[in-house]
Structure 1
Amino acid sequence: MRIVFAGSPAAAVPSLEALARRHEVALVVTRGASPQGRRRVVTPTPVAAAAERLGLTVLEADRLDAAAAEAIAGVGAELGVVVAYGGLVREPLLSTPAHGWINLHFSLLPAYRGAAPVQRALMAGEDETGVSVFRLVPELDAGPIVRMVASPVPPLATAGELLETLAASGADVLVDAVDAIEVGTATFEPQVGEPSFAPKLALADGLLRLDEPAPAVLDRFRGVTPEPGAHVLLGGERVKVLALTRSAADPLPAGTARLVGKDAVLGTATAALALGEVQPAGRQAMRAADWLRGRGGEVVLDA
């Protein structure tokens, strides 16, 4: 099929690569280059970089306005495919390709509609997730489904790790859906069940609430890692938490971080957690044990 592909982050690259192997990707739409990293170097999106490597035509557009819609319509695509583009497809563009637009979404719809399905699922402690391929409609992530595949959530996976896994498996599911649309065997079924929503995360979502039980603290850490990043507060300043796991240590008072032998341990409302690596404000990342050793072996974090 002749396809227009819209995507931006690394999670969309496996889908672009898989589609380019089997179909004609006439145009790749992605968000514009933006400052990245500590030095704020202007960098193309991962999808833009992949498209250049594949020799595909790229249109950089932060939103699908009239000019972008005209450019997309001009390539004569039969199908539009979206994977984490970061913008909405509205009419009349929604109806421009003969087969409309489909979207690869990283949840079992109608659960976790929105921008952060993997992150929110982990924060909620879900033990199952998956991918859905559905037809775009004006309502957010509400269109009928052509493919859905469930998979277990690895017990200690962070959002970054789980998203990488789903991006790889989802690419195959997406190609299967496109193949079915091409030969006319695709069947779209309405979503079933009560929807839940997964709004984009903010920096404040990364604050670990140490008055909660240990599993909830660990779920939040996994859900916000690597972005926007987990943190605690000490004297009003953020201390980034880069590694956090279960611990066999005795419980500590909630909000206390203590050096126990050679290990850094963090207290929650129930069990202790092993604090592996931190990054205090204005400093480099370091072993949490070294951080605590430099502060007398124990700190009481802000409530």
Structure 2
Amino acid sequence: MLKVLFAGTPDVAVPSLMALAQDTENFEVVAVLTRPDAPSGRGRRLTPSPVKTAALTLGIPVLECDPSEPAFLTELMATGAEVAAVVAYGRILHQDVLDALPRGWYNLHFSLLPQWRGAAPVQRSIWSGDTVTGATVFRITAGMDSGPILSQATVSIGPHETSGELLERLSHDGSNLLHATLRALDENRIHPVEQSDGSYDRADKIRTEDARIRFDVPVFAVDRQIRACTPAPGAWCVVHAGDGERSEKLHVIQASPASMENPQTPDSLAPGRLAVGKRNVWVGTLTSPLELLRVKAQGRQEMSAADWARGARLGVGARCD
């Protein structure tokens, strides 16, 4: 039986933890390493990570100390772990930590490495227009997501899929891949292969300012940006009501390239210009209009774009930027 330390923090890591913990014939998850409780919600109360919550439910000991602290190695060795499985843990692991476990540290990464190394591979793959992505299990080394690969699995990206939806799907597919890979590793049926050299796109983190929607690009590019930034950090724009005075921040939760078969769809709109029908809200792009479907104005609940527009008192010159 392989003794495993599991390291992870957010919801997407929970399926992998569950897959390993439930296979008591082949694995013993001896401890879980996760980020410390963090402020959350309007009250900013300290809240445990989803992985910590799952670990406590399973009765697995939890480690929350920083791996860069000298005391961590002592705690790590006390677990008796032989190998570590890492899924979206969120901290850098230094070489002394990587060398501490006899069979190494293995990461489940949500891209087909070596493409999209970095913090936001799912978001970047959607934003770039990829139609196929996947998951990779690789051995962690000093370089960023550059260690030798043990296994990969591919999935198609749906034409209307958001990063949140795709990540949810990959978290379950990836849990099966990680489970199977660690079994094969334990039975000496799999051997890491070095990643190929070359120039590959990096998956840099998407920050709030990056998620401000650009309308001076073709509609397909606007659609990709919104889907890539949904649900986090959340695509947004500033709406100017058209009276020269009022403006507000608007989060776009759902949108789609407008159907030009709908006779009510404007033939063309200047980039950023808003047009409102009885049941539709459109905004112009460099090409055809984008239809807004679900939005959330500052300080208000999420609602349909049509309901928002009715209460927003938009003037003739209303626009988004």
TM-score over 0.5 for the alignment?
yes
Offset, 1:274: 1.5
Q: Give the partner amino acid of 2:181.
A: A
Match of 2:318 in 1: 300
Match of 1:279 in 2: 296
Match of 1:199 in 2: 204
In structure 2, the CA distance between the partners of 1:48 and 1:296, relative to structure 1 (3 Å rule), is: same
Retained in 1: the 8 A contact 2:213–2:235?
yes
Q: Give the partner amino acid of 1:87.
A: R
Match of 1:229 in 2: 234
Aligned mates of 1:71, 1:258 — CA distance in 2: 60
Aligned mates of 1:67, 1:299 — CA distance in 2: 62
Structure 1 alignment gaps of length 5 or more: none
In structure 2, the CA distance between the partners of 1:10 and 1:299, relative to structure 1 (3 Å rule), is: farther
Match of 1:132 in 2: 136
Retained in 1: the 8 A contact 2:219–2:285?
yes
Offset, 1:298: 5.3
Offset, 1:39: 2.7
Aligned mates of 1:298, 1:53 — CA distance in 2: 56
Aligned mates of 2:305, 2:22 — CA distance in 1: 45
Retained in 1: the 8 A contact 2:270–2:286?
yes
1:242 to 229, 233, 253: 253
Match of 2:285 in 1: 268
Larger CA deviation: 242-251 vs 82-91: 242-251
In structure 2, the CA distance between the partners of 1:146 and 1:238, relative to structure 1 (3 Å rule), is: same
Offset, 1:183: 0.6
Give the 4+ runs in structure 1 shifted more than 6 A: none
Retained in 1: the 8 A contact 2:237–2:250?
yes
In structure 2, the CA distance between the partners of 1:299 and 1:71, relative to structure 1 (3 Å rule), is: farther
Match of 2:145 in 1: 141
RMSD over aligned Cα, in angstroms? 1.5
Alignment of 1:52-71 (within 5 A): 52-71=56-75
- Please identify the structure whose Cα radius of gyration is greater: 2
Retained in 1: the 8 A contact 2:278–2:306?
no
Aligned mates of 2:44, 2:17 — CA distance in 1: 26
- After superposition, the C-alpha distances for 1:84-114 in whole angstroms (9 at most, x for unaligned) are 0000111211011111110000000011111
Alignment of 1:54-93 (within 5 A): 54-93=58-97
Offset, 1:62: 4.8
Q: Give the partner amino acid of 1:138.
A: A
Q: Give the partner amino acid of 1:278.
A: V
Aligned mates of 1:264, 1:195 — CA distance in 2: 38
Match of 2:216 in 1: 211
Alignment of 1:13-162 (within 5 A): 13-22=14-23, 23-162=27-166
Offset, 1:140: 0.5
Retained in 2: the 8 A contact 1:237–1:281?
yes
Q: Secondary structure at the match of 2:36?
A: coil
TM-score by length of 1: 0.96
Kindly, what percent of the aligned residue pairs are identical?
40
Aligned mates of 1:70, 1:85 — CA distance in 2: 20
Larger CA deviation: 122-131 vs 248-257: 248-257
Offset, 1:63: 4.7
Aligned mates of 1:298, 1:12 — CA distance in 2: 48
Aligned mates of 2:256, 2:315 — CA distance in 1: 19
Larger CA deviation: 253-262 vs 113-122: 253-262
Larger CA deviation: 139-148 vs 231-240: 231-240
Alignment of 1:164-183 (within 5 A): 164-183=168-187
Q: Secondary structure at the match of 2:95?
A: coil
- After superposition, the C-alpha distances for 1:115-148 in whole angstroms (9 at most, x for unaligned) are 1110111111111100000000000000000001
Retained in 2: the 8 A contact 1:110–1:194?
no
Match of 1:256 in 2: 273
Retained in 1: the 8 A contact 2:34–2:51?
yes
Aligned mates of 2:94, 2:88 — CA distance in 1: 16
Q: Secondary structure at the match of 1:92?
A: helix
Q: Give the partner amino acid of 1:5.
A: F
Offset, 1:64: 4.0
- After superposition, the C-alpha distances for 1:153-209 in whole angstroms (9 at most, x for unaligned) are 011111110000000000000011100111111111111243321111110111110
Match of 1:4 in 2: 5
